[in-house]
Structure 1
């Protein structure tokens, strides 16, 4: 519930906080000395992904390191080769179709971005066999290149779904963007081998599960070091999806996993640039590449995930294998804990704050000229990734807290129409961004990083202050999932950028009946311009 008050900040603490909030740096951080003092006192976590504070549940991951990490490679290989669509519960299949609707929608939308256009131009210049389709176009290219282009498009808008974590030791309670790597590779390989819709769906769901359980198992340090897990771990989802369609046996899948571990890449310094979605495209392409090599007898180490030199130790510093070996398919991550479908084309960590800002604007019918200042109080897990103090491009805008608030104030929306270079550069938005500040809040920081917490404070020119706490039950999340109508509407909004209006409903119908299609090419034919 919103709390409205006309009182001015009278205490000295409030005055000092307001003064600091207006500092020229905009994003308020602890200075190094303060941070180290707080760290020593136990009020700030050693890593951004760790759960903090006295209220934190007593969750202690069973972290294994170096040679103690064993059995993961074998477990994944067995799961991939033994699992069939017939084994999957009905709710897993149904949720898989929902993820495909969302995934194909954001691929279509993302295909219109400049970065996706550049990737397609590269793919066209390289040339090669006509094996698989680039969604939204009539271009057919080698399967690996189709996976690259579709994967990059799927993450280009930062509009694809997010994996939820089962435990509170992960930043925001979120992990990877699981759908696009597995989808892009499954589609490309399914087209190449002439698979049925059921075969495509089976491969997608197997790859999805492998990706999610590897993400759960690896130590949170993987992400906090700066690795982009959707790229690094997404490659395993892509590769195992390809393995399923290519009917690789367990021994070959073990080589595949080791090859994939060496191809895994993506670092967070590239957030806010065209390279962030490229991480996902490369993950999808690497999945095809690794599977093709393994299928032809190319070898990797026996334990690509395990041991002192395996993926978990080298890129993550350890793993909790209880979250992987006995957990594959028990339950399936796609339904428990599930995924978060995005209502805005930007990072999930900003969505609760955006919902809170929109609520204040709508409830009080605010106009831009009424705003004197906006402060978003949050912990470092929210403020640090939103790295841009002001945005000049739509890519920067996705990681710019002042823009996200400004868009909702100026237009009461933050959709694809708002994430354009022209709107970001508009005078109204640039002026409003100057009034928005991110403020480091120690109390919120101390509550931990498992949820996306923030408080919005809006000062009006008439002297009132409006306060709204962000609702952790954000739209699209597990507590407020999209309805079928909302999901179909999101697909339509994305697809209309590429498809004719009369092609949108048949495309949705084909996805919803994917397991009954004799060929995946029937679906692809409905997703080209």
Structure 2
């Protein structure tokens, strides 16, 4: 896994990917990868019923030709591998319930949603090629690694408040590309070409938040990686310095990059271990979760009902509300609600929870929810902002109609994050919740058991047998 520092960044990545095998991966990384497989598949299943996922399947049906790989969940079909990755990527991000990697550096906050792109590429090519569980785990971990390292290295202007790209689309193409190149067993030079092809096809805008076009960013990133790798396999080429070169990816998309955050750091440590990933307890923007947990603790301990609340004041940082991702001031749809702090507070106050039933148009548009949203004020607190973008902090103050005031600060380590992870039982419960309407209890158990035994499977595509029609 050691890569010399004397070569260019693009070649370093290609050499790292082509020389790293399953035996090089720490056991902890494999275990977290399995959790990502469970969580990623769960949210694909749940998201496959969303309108945007249905529209994408209709599009795939219109252009369908080869039947290489399967889509997961509702309306499962066989499609060309890149289109199966597209459909699964859109479904997997449709509910914004897929995991998130958060930065440990003060100059940035959310790095990327790291699982869906390499997972969708891995599923598509495992289905096409019949690769082993070890092959798929290795491809996934390496895809996760490369895209997170690129997100850590690129200039912070790439993200919210700067150029406004959606990194899960723009940088996510490298996660799916790396996974695909590994499963196709491309050479170092072919991998360099695949990275170049992916770099020139990268896309995704942050303005899409709250619409179907946000999960489209994820779907296209998943699709592009498979396409780039297969083109490189056929002999399509690109420059050897597509990332670091003049007018290359880093310059065009970020205005530069910090080479020291990438050069010599691949696999040291693996990104799946540090900064790790947050497996979400709520189907919404992850930076809102500490605030939701804080309010839930307050209203539960003080036994405050929604109709008793006169006002809720939320103090947080610019990595949460505008210019951060939760910039919608009042939600009227479920998609808007995912990026709206007033809705998230209202849901917790009214229901003590915020799951699939709450992130639904009927509840969002209900009179009680609409009224309570208007009683929520969210503002940037200078002291919280001074802590840096890597710290997600909330101070929530509730005033009741009878004049009482209560305050609650968010926990230091957010629930579901690397330092306060969901247990396997909690993760399994999330999977069962997502799969219940589409997959039998027997098949749900079979899938979970297969993931736990993934490294011993001779053909990883059997995972799809229990989550596709």
**TM > 0.5 fold call:** yes
Deviation at 1:151, TM superposition (A): 0.7
Superposed CA deviations along residues 322-346 of structure 1, whole A, max 9, x for unmatched, are: 2222111111110122111111000
Q: State the partner residue of 2:113.
A: 177
Is 1:147 aligned with 2:85?
yes
Q: State the partner residue of 2:3.
A: none
Deviation at 1:166, TM superposition (A): 3.7
TM-score, normalised by the number of residues in structure 1: 0.85
Q: State the partner residue of 2:34.
A: 97
Higher Cα Rg, which structure = 1
- Extract structure 1 runs of 4+ deviating beyond 4 A: none
Is 1:519 aligned with 2:459?
yes
Tell me if the contact between 1:108 and 1:497 (Cα under 8 Å) persists in the aligned partners: no
Q: After the TM superposition, which residues 196-275 of structure 1 pair with which residues of structure 2 at under 5 Å, given as runs? A: 196-223=132-159, 224-275=162-213
Superposition CA RMSD, Å: 1.3
Partner Cα separation in structure 1 for residue 329 and residue 380 of structure 2: 14
Deviation at 1:350, TM superposition (A): 0.5
Tell me if the contact between 1:492 and 1:504 (Cα under 8 Å) persists in the aligned partners: yes
Q: State the partner residue of 2:363.
A: 423
Q: State the partner residue of 2:309.
A: 371
**1:122 aligns with one of 48, 51, 59:** 59
Partner Cα separation in structure 2 for residue 210 and residue 442 of structure 1: 34
Partner Cα separation in structure 2 for residue 70 and residue 497 of structure 1: 51
What is the DSSP-based 3-state SS (H/G/I as helix, E as strand, rest coil) of the residue aligned with 2:320?
helix
Where does the alignment leave 5 or more consecutive residues of structure 1 unmatched? 1-68
**1:345 aligns with one of 273, 283, 306:** 283
Tell me if the contact between 1:112 and 1:497 (Cα under 8 Å) persists in the aligned partners: no
How many residue pairs end up in the alignment? 459
Tell me if the contact between 1:455 and 1:470 (Cα under 8 Å) persists in the aligned partners: yes
Tell me if the contact between 1:342 and 1:348 (Cα under 8 Å) persists in the aligned partners: yes
Partner Cα separation in structure 1 for residue 192 and residue 48 of structure 2: 34
Partner Cα separation in structure 1 for residue 376 and residue 29 of structure 2: 42
Superposed CA deviations along residues 460-480 of structure 1, whole A, max 9, x for unmatched, are: 111111111122311011221
Deviation at 1:70, TM superposition (A): 7.0
Tell me if the contact between 2:102 and 2:390 (Cα under 8 Å) persists in the aligned partners: no
Q: State the partner residue of 2:235.
A: 297
What is the DSSP-based 3-state SS (H/G/I as helix, E as strand, rest coil) of the residue aligned with 1:482?
coil
Deviation at 1:240, TM superposition (A): 1.0
Partner Cα separation in structure 2 for residue 166 and residue 447 of structure 1: 12
Deviation at 1:361, TM superposition (A): 0.9
**1:86 aligns with one of 16, 23, 29:** 23
What is the DSSP-based 3-state SS (H/G/I as helix, E as strand, rest coil) of the residue aligned with 2:342?
helix
Partner Cα separation in structure 1 for residue 267 and residue 52 of structure 2: 36
What is the DSSP-based 3-state SS (H/G/I as helix, E as strand, rest coil) of the residue aligned with 2:311?
strand
Deviation at 1:302, TM superposition (A): 1.7
Deviation at 1:349, TM superposition (A): 0.9
**1:72 aligns with one of 9, 21, 40:** 9
Q: State the partner residue of 1:63.
A: none
Partner Cα separation in structure 2 for residue 150 and residue 362 of structure 1: 37
What is the DSSP-based 3-state SS (H/G/I as helix, E as strand, rest coil) of the residue aligned with 2:377?
strand
Tell me if the contact between 1:375 and 1:436 (Cα under 8 Å) persists in the aligned partners: yes
Partner Cα separation in structure 1 for residue 146 and residue 15 of structure 2: 11
Q: After the TM superposition, which residues 123-138 of structure 1 pair with which residues of structure 2 at under 5 Å, given as runs? A: 123-136=60-73, 137-138=75-76
Partner Cα separation in structure 1 for residue 223 and residue 205 of structure 2: 17
